[in-house]
Amino acid sequence: MRKIDPEKHAARRQVILDAAIACFARKGFHGTSTAEICAEAGMSPGNLFHYFPTKHAIIAAIVEEERQETADFFRELHEAPDLFAALLGFMDAAMGLAADPVYSSLALEIAAEAMRDERIGALVAANDAEMRAALSALIRAAHARGQIDTAIDPEAGARWIAALIDGIFGRIAVDPGFKPDQEGATMHLLLTRFLRPPRDAASASSDAAEIG
């Protein structure tokens, strides 16, 4: 008998995923036919459906791939001496990804699909929760080292940092004048003012008073 070669199998799956990513970024999930993915991947529908049972399974695999990549990125982040600087580095990396039109189109498409299809929604929500958990852990560690203002609640801070990342992708989608490589300075200023510990106790408490 013959056994399945896991490496070859995975490589073949990846060919399909890469083709699907290109198509979904170009025309969206529902705007792409399985025939188009077949053409991009250079294979027959019989072959494609040998590796994925449904079109839905393809986008689910893409979301899972995404999760892996984000998790890998965070694994290295905690070793940095200055955690606030590490956070800025993470945000710069997010800007770099957003600058890639394929990546940003895909991210937006997945977010939209998450609202329509609750199976995708659950996967995306899990990814997001994982990222926010890493971010709030980073904030907590930075609190201990005095690198981020303890007035910032770790969970709330993580949420708004995540919102800012979502916002970057939103800008790419609707604002052709938003150039990631020129917007880094303002983003750093925003994050610095939002998160950095105040120089003296008085100014921190007066900020808090203003938001009442």
User: Is residue 46 near DNA by the rule CB under 7 A?
Assistant: yes
User: Toward DNA, which CB reaches closer, 44 or 192?
Assistant: 44
- Cβ atoms within 10 Å, residue 209: 8
Site for DNA in 10-29 (CB under 7 A): 12
Residue 187 CA to residue 90 CA, distance in Å, equals: 12
Closest approach of Cβ 68 to its own copies, in Å?
17
Closest approach of Cβ 112 to DNA, in Å?
16
User: Is residue 34 near DNA by the rule CB under 7 A?
Assistant: yes
User: Toward DNA, which CB reaches closer, 26 or 55?
Assistant: 55
| Site stretch for DNA (CB under 7 A), options 5-13, 72-80, 164-172, 193-201 | 5-13
The pair of structure tokens assigned to 39 is 């053409």
DSSP structure class, residue 196:
S
Contacts (Cβ under 8 Å, ≥6 apart) of 92: 184
Contacts (Cβ under 8 Å, ≥6 apart) of 19: 37, 40, 41, 42
* Residues of this chain that bind DNA (CB under 7 A): 1-5, 8-9, 12, 32-36, 42-47, 49-50, 53-56
